[in-house]
Amino acid sequence: MLREEEGELVLSRPGRDRLDVCAATALPDAARARVAQQVRQDLWRALRRVRGFSPVVRVRREAGGLSLVAGGQVDGAVPRGLAARIALVLEDGGNRARWVARARRTRR
């Protein structure tokens, strides 16, 4: 479910938008919805074996770029090191280049 909330674009499953664990990053300016979709997809691929995990991505446009918080809702206890695993996805150079390249095709 994609929605706008106080200047922030939020992408999550309906009713599953709580951030129990998260990491943040900054990206160059691009289409927020496309970036959010790509990040959520990569988070899901990296963490699909985490029981009860549902990815959430929040993107805000700030000073010439994007501020992004990604993480998710976890049913039960949050596994140790999960925030670090999320940060690895967000800081991977290949992921970042792909997200921005795809999101810059049409800027929204």
CA nearest neighbour of 23 among 78, 77, 65: 78
Ordered by start, the domain boundaries in the chain are: 2-103
Q: What is the pLDDT of residue 105?
A: 66
pTM, two decimal places: 0.92
pLDDT in tens, 8-30: 999 999 989 999 999 999 999 99
pLDDT digit string, tens, across residues 33-86: 999 999 999 999 999 999 999 999 999 999 889 999 999 999 999 999 999 999
Radius of gyration of the chain (CA): 13
| Cα–Cα distance measured from residue 108 to residue 106, given in angstroms and rounded to the nearest whole number | 7
Closest CA to 100 of 58, 92, 19: 92
Instruction: Return the structure tokens found at 68.
Output: 């992004």
